[in-house]
Structure 1
Amino acid sequence: MNTSNKPRVLVLGAGFGGLELTSLLSETFGASIDVTLIDKSDAFIFGFSKLDVMFGHKTADQVRLPYSNYAKPGVRLLRQTITSIDPERRRVTTDAGVHEADFLVVALGADYDFDATPGLARANEFYTVAGAERLRDALPTFTRGRALVGVCGAPYKCPPAPSECALMLHDYLVKRGVRGDCEINFVLPLPSPVPPSPETSRALVAAFVERNIGFIPGRRVASIDNARKVAVLDDGVEMQFDLFLGVPRHRVPDVVIASGMTESGWITVNSRTLETSYAGVYAVGDGANTGTPKAGVFAEGAARAVASDLIVKLTNSGTAKQYDGFGTCYIEFGGGRIGKVEVDFFSGPKPTGTYHEASLALRADKEHFGSSRRARWFGM
């Protein structure tokens, strides 16, 4: 029951989408509306920071951005675990109570489905902080043999990240003086590293060739035999490894599946407004089937569209700005160089990408991407 007579907006998940959406609502309305942001974690971590942890550039504590530093007028950030979602009633139950809303935004992202790939749970992966830390500890012991960067399914978060892993692993082994004794292979279920941008893909493939990294596109790791140190691909081919660096399959959280909001594994939305089939309910980020990649910058763009729509509805004025499907991704090419690709999914008949050649100068752009959001969301 609403006892305050303020409009109530409930946002589930404090990732890129949830943080940007609640920041925008706070900037517009302050304390005149009631915004609640719920997340089970105590800190936010940029996805790209996990590679920094894995290669020993930073510690996990150094990349954590505590939610205790998030303070916005009109927004309550609660650390609670969501146990059920009723989209028809816009009612959410957590381990601490029940929340009801006039508008509900699901931004819970995607979970990792380790069970979908037999053997992966006992192998190494670098998409969780814990997995990145385990690889950080394992990498110094790898001095010769076969390293295999293997993606277990698509779609997955941050499409360039596995390519970055292979290139950064090359640099790491060169620096240690053991690259000549090590083989690196990279298995990817996509036809190219960055399908919307052929130019970016060509640059990455050229980088693989230059560094003698074997690239196997259009295939995924279907299972792992840890005893034999073999990864079995979806076509039955077996690949030996001494070091496995995996990307698990992704799926929406169980609580979202149980809500009945998903079709074909993801939340169906209007790709331009992010509205679901339930009145007053939106979905943004990795769990929503928007037709754009599962990456923070796209979740952020979708959040801006939802904020615009909510502002129009709550003020009864103006015209909402739709989600433009545009995003910029930075790619580690090794040697300190950063490439950049700007991808536009909705302006033309098919997605297009503009590639900016890797350079040392672009590192400042990537660092600004992170620092600007740390300052905006956390005041750090």
Structure 2
Amino acid sequence: MNPHIIVCGAGFGGLELTARLSAAFGPEVNITLIDKSDAFIFGFSKFEIMFGQQSREEVSSYYSNIAKPGVEFKQELITAIDPDARRVVTDKNTYTADIVVVALGADYDFGATPGFVEGGHEFYSVEGAVKLRDVLPNVTSGNVIVAVVSEPFKCPPAPCEAAMLLDEYFSERGVRSSIDLSVVSPWGIPIPASRPASDAILERFRERNIGWSPNQGVRAIDPATKLVHLRDGNTLSYDLFLGIPVHRVPAVVEASGLAVDDWVPVNKANLSTQFPNVYAIGDVTSAPVPKAGIFAESAGRAVAEHLIAQLRDSGTAKPYDGAGSCFIEFGDHKVGRVDVDFLSGPSVTAPFTEASLQGAEEKREFAASRRQFWFGG
């Protein structure tokens, strides 16, 4: 009887894992890929939605188009996970497997910050990006703040990317001189892993008169007074607040007993959990890497290699390297890149390639190659 593998979540990690297992085993392994959504959308595509450059439909890769031998996709909501029994319950079915991989990402807790729901906007969800698409054309003046409420948060460059793209957007509309634009971050520099990338971002901020408030967090937002209450007790006035919300482990994962101290602990080398034949990858874990799609992808690759060696009972998989290339939008259609390696060597390496038009083309090729590998036959 063929081994049955359940993959909970079809983001970067789940798709990479599924595609690699299918390529290795074909129909000899039964893979059930479960996600509540009908389509995958790259995180950076939310900017395209937010600025009205593309529609949700145009940036969606539909799971129904997955053409991988041995893979069956189920659009279902996961309601319970029993890691002891390796059983997954959804709103439609109950599944039991030989191996379970949890790749459900991080959820957003908008209500954790007083006033956020009533007075703020966000671009980390597709729904938030769609709302901003309708809000931004009406912004002609005032204080626009992009603020990271707390850490950890997904995609470390995204808040700064948002500011640089907003600068470009308002400039093209001829209203930038009437808008004060700033970023609030809990970090001292934009990307702690890469000083060169951080220096490039801060230089762009200086060139474009974008404010930078480091080592700060947001305690609350007051929609009545239009004030952002910062962690140190100071306040900032705002007309448009774009917040990166509090992140949390999905409730179904917390209820499963997999999470410890907010996130799922994993073996750093192979991303196994404390439960036999149960793995966790991506943002849902407390692995010592940032929460970002590229690291979920490399985690999916590492678990795939480990499972291939295990199921074939031959070879030794390489340990998870925590490596990936992160693209950074600087505006003017130019994109930079940080090539990060968190775990392979004695210390983190993160060289930066400066923003260029070629970088933008490389980013497009990155997306196209993933769509082909994850969805193509």
Task: Normalising by structure 2, report the TM-score.
Answer: 0.98
Q: Is 1:47 equivalent to 2:49 in the alignment?
A: no
**Deviation by residue 1:195-249 (Cα, 9 ceiling, x = unmatched):** 0101110110111111111101111122111121111111111110011111111
Unmatched 5+ stretches in structure 1: none
- Which of 304, 309, 314 is residue 306 of structure 2 equivalent to? 309
* Distance (Å, rounded) in 2 between the aligned partners of 1:40 and 1:315: 31
Name the aligned partner's letter for residue 10 of structure 1: I
* Distance (Å, rounded) in 2 between the aligned partners of 1:366 and 1:33: 33
- Which of 73, 91, 98 is residue 94 of structure 2 equivalent to? 98
* Distance (Å, rounded) in 2 between the aligned partners of 1:197 and 1:240: 31
Give the Å deviation of 1:106.
Answer: 0.2
Give the Å deviation of 1:118.
Answer: 1.0
Q: Which residue of 2 aligns with 1:220?
A: 217
Q: Is 1:83 equivalent to 2:79 in the alignment?
A: yes
Q: Which residue of 1 aligns with 2:112?
A: 116
Give the Å deviation of 1:310.
Answer: 0.7
Matches within 5 A, 1:90-169: 90-122=86-118, 123-169=120-166
* Distance (Å, rounded) in 2 between the aligned partners of 1:235 and 1:277: 39
**Deviation by residue 1:100-134 (Cα, 9 ceiling, x = unmatched):** 11111000001001111111112211111111111
Instruction: Give the conservation status (yes or no) of the 8 Å contact 1:220–1:233.
Output: yes
Instruction: Give the conservation status (yes or no) of the 8 Å contact 2:68–2:376.
Output: no
Q: Which residue of 2 aligns with 1:290?
A: 287
Q: Is 1:179 equivalent to 2:176 in the alignment?
A: yes
**Deviation by residue 1:2-26 (Cα, 9 ceiling, x = unmatched):** xxx2111111000011111111111
* Distance (Å, rounded) in 1 between the aligned partners of 2:218 and 2:58: 32
Give the Å deviation of 1:344.
Answer: 1.0
- Which of 192, 196, 202 is residue 193 of structure 2 equivalent to? 196
Matches within 5 A, 1:213-252: 213-252=210-249
Which runs of structure 1 show a deviation greater than 6 angstroms over 4 or more consecutive aligned residues?
Answer: none
For the residue of structure 2 that corresponds to 1:346, the secondary structure is coil
**Deviation by residue 1:68-92 (Cα, 9 ceiling, x = unmatched):** 1112111111011111111111111
* Distance (Å, rounded) in 1 between the aligned partners of 2:132 and 2:224: 18
Give the Å deviation of 1:347.
Answer: 2.6
* Distance (Å, rounded) in 1 between the aligned partners of 2:100 and 2:376: 26
* Distance (Å, rounded) in 2 between the aligned partners of 1:324 and 1:263: 23
Q: Is 1:72 equivalent to 2:68 in the alignment?
A: yes
For the residue of structure 1 that corresponds to 2:351, the secondary structure is strand
Q: Which residue of 2 aligns with 1:323?
A: 320
* Distance (Å, rounded) in 2 between the aligned partners of 1:60 and 1:81: 21
Instruction: Give the conservation status (yes or no) of the 8 Å contact 1:269–1:282.
Output: yes
Q: Which residue of 2 aligns with 1:14?
A: 10
* Distance (Å, rounded) in 2 between the aligned partners of 1:165 and 1:173: 12
Unmatched 5+ stretches in structure 2: none
Percent of pairs identical after alignment? 52
Q: Which residue of 1 aligns with 2:342?
A: 345
Give the Å deviation of 1:378.
Answer: 2.2
* Distance (Å, rounded) in 2 between the aligned partners of 1:135 and 1:12: 30
Instruction: Give the conservation status (yes or no) of the 8 Å contact 1:154–1:190.
Output: no
* Distance (Å, rounded) in 1 between the aligned partners of 2:359 and 2:122: 28
For the residue of structure 2 that corresponds to 1:263, the secondary structure is coil
Instruction: Give the conservation status (yes or no) of the 8 Å contact 2:68–2:375.
Output: no
Instruction: Give the conservation status (yes or no) of the 8 Å contact 2:309–2:315.
Output: yes
Q: Which residue of 2 aligns with 1:259?
A: 256
Name the aligned partner's letter for residue 198 of structure 1: R
Moved more, 94-103 or 344-353: 344-353
Give the Å deviation of 1:379.
Answer: 3.0
Instruction: Give the conservation status (yes or no) of the 8 Å contact 1:111–1:253.
Output: yes
Give the Å deviation of 1:302.
Answer: 0.6
* Distance (Å, rounded) in 2 between the aligned partners of 1:61 and 1:193: 32
* Distance (Å, rounded) in 1 between the aligned partners of 2:88 and 2:41: 25
* Distance (Å, rounded) in 1 between the aligned partners of 2:363 and 2:309: 33
- Which of 343, 349, 353 is residue 356 of structure 1 equivalent to? 353
* Distance (Å, rounded) in 2 between the aligned partners of 1:68 and 1:34: 17
Number of residue pairs the alignment of both structures matches = 376
Name the aligned partner's letter for residue 156 of structure 1: F
